């Protein structure tokens, strides 16, 4: 196995305070890696270490080049902002497979956002665009492993003032960094753990008007308030990891025009959130420019994902600051 990270760049694992022995044990222990899903549009395969700490993704050559190109700026960014939400990269490697053609497989090792003792009941991949941004699964087949998209989002996540302000500052910093590196097509991956009776919620298939479910899951505010009563409560929470919040159920109008954020219903649920910015290796290259030009003839140009980095960053933040709001 060949390491692809330049030796002149300070180790990212040291920066992220990863113990070398534990890291090797996670990756090279006796337990096999778990494959997460079949290849999607990117054609990449995803694997999870047995302890859930690391995710391994196979990469295209263009992605490897992009990561190596942005690595010095990436290192400076994650060093300057400890609470950055961008993907944490721990290693970049290449393996030459046995056989006549000796095919090379490149892969990156990243932190798993959802490494937690809490079950992730719902997960959302949010970009701020609407074209094609819905799951292709029927409602009855959606489960805790389904990655939902922008038009599937049926909540507004409300964070306490201190957490929301820090969240907003960090999203601004991270988007500025990605814009400077000419990156677009990234997402905010959000995992939602419902603190009360989350398994029952899943078996019902969706949030509905069942009064028993609503009364069981509705938030009493006690969970988030206890952190404010504890002087050390805020310091124990790391941005994007195990963050208490209130999720307000929303409902979309039955209009022809897609509605990214539905209307608030006043029904609240006590949740713990996990989130981070993923897929940060796509630049606005010729293929994305052609995609933008082609789709602009067919659809509203503001609805498509492939737009220039500045417009992408602005649209992404506009949407995220509607999906996440300060709790009053």
230-252: pLDDT as tens digits: 544 555 678 999 999 999 999 98
Q: Which of 258 and 314 is assigned the larger pLDDT?
A: 314
pLDDT value, residue 38: 58
**Which two structure tokens, joined as six digits, stand for 53?**
């700490």
Distance between CA 140 and CA 146 in Å, rounded? 11
pLDDT at 200 > cutoff 60: no
User: What does pLDDT average to over the chain?
Assistant: 82
**Which two structure tokens, joined as six digits, stand for 325?**
């709001």
Query: What is the distance of C-alpha 236 from the center of its chain?
Result: 21
The segment(s) of the chain belonging to CATH 3.30.810.10 are: 122-326
Nearest CA-CA partner of 240 in 56, 83, 59, 47: 83
Which strands sit side by side in the sheet containing 187-194, from one edge to the other?
147-148, 122-126, 187-194, 263-278, 243-251, 155-159, 324-326
248-280: pLDDT as tens digits: 999 987 766 677 888 999 999 999 999 999 999
For residue 96, report the phi and psi dihedrals to the nearest 5 degrees: -95, 115
pLDDT value, residue 328: 81
The segment(s) of the chain belonging to CATH 3.30.800.10 are: 2-111
Tell me what percent of the residues of the chain surpass a pLDDT of 70: 79
pLDDT value, residue 24: 87
CATH of domain 122-326: 3.30.810.10
pLDDT value, residue 140: 84
Bridge pairing between strands 46-48 and 54-59: antiparallel
Hey, which residues does 275 pair with through a beta bridge?
A: 190
pLDDT value, residue 7: 55
CATH topology classification for 2-111? Phosphatidylinositol Phosphate Kinase II Beta (3.30.800)
Instruction: For residue 205, name the pLDDT band (cuts at 50, 70, 90).
Output: very low
Contacts of 34 (CB under 8 A, 6+ apart): 47, 48, 49, 50
* Cβ(173)–Cβ(264) below 8 Å: no
Average pLDDT over residues 199-209: 49
pLDDT value, residue 310: 94
39-77: pLDDT as tens digits: 556 678 899 998 999 999 999 888 999 999 999 999 999
| Strand runs labelled E in 160-261 | 187-194, 243-251
pLDDT value, residue 8: 44
139-181: pLDDT as tens digits: 888 888 899 999 999 999 999 999 999 999 999 999 999 999 9
pLDDT value, residue 32: 72
């Amino acid at each position: 196995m060949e390491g692809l990270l330049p030796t002149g760049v300070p180790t990212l694992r040291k920066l992220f305070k990863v113990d070398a022995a534990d890291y090797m044990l996670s990756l090279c222990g006796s337990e096999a890696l778990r494959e997460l899903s079949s290849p999607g549009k990117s054609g990449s395969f995803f694997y999870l270490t047995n302890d859930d700490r690391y995710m391994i993704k196979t990469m295209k050559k263009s992605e490897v080049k992009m990561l190596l190109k942005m690595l010095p700026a990436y290192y400076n960014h994650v060093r300057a902002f400890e609470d950055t939400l961008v993907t944490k990269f721990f290693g970049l490697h290449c393996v030459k497979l046995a056989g006549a053609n000796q095919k090379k497989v490149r892969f990156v090792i990243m932190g798993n956002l959802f490494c937690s003792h809490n079950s992730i009941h719902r997960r959302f991949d949010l970009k701020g665009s609407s074209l094609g941004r819905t799951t292709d699964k029927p409602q009855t087949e959606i489960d805790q492993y389904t990655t939902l998209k922008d038009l599937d989002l049926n909540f507004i996540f409300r964070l306490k003032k201190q957490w929301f302000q820090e969240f907003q500052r960090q999203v601004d910093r991270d988007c500025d960094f990605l814009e400077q590196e000419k990156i677009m097509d990234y997402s905010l991956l959000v995992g939602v753990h419902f603190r009360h009776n989350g398994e029952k919620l899943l078996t019902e298939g969706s949030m509905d008007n069942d009064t028993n479910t609503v009364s069981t899951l509705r938030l009493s505010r006690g969970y988030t308030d206890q952190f404010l009563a504890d002087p050390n409560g805020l310091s124990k929470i790391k941005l994007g990891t195990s963050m208490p919040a209130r999720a307000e159920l929303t409902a979309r109008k039955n209009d022809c025009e897609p509605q990214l954020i539905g209307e608030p219903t006043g029904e609240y649920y006590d949740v713990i959130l996990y989130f981070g910015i993923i897929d940060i290796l796509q630049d606005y290259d010729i293929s994305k420019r052609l995609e933008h030009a082609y789709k602009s003839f067919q659809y509203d140009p503001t609805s498509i994902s492939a737009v220039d980095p500045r417009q992408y960053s602005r649209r992404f933040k506009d949407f995220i600051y509607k999906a996440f709001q300060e709790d009053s």
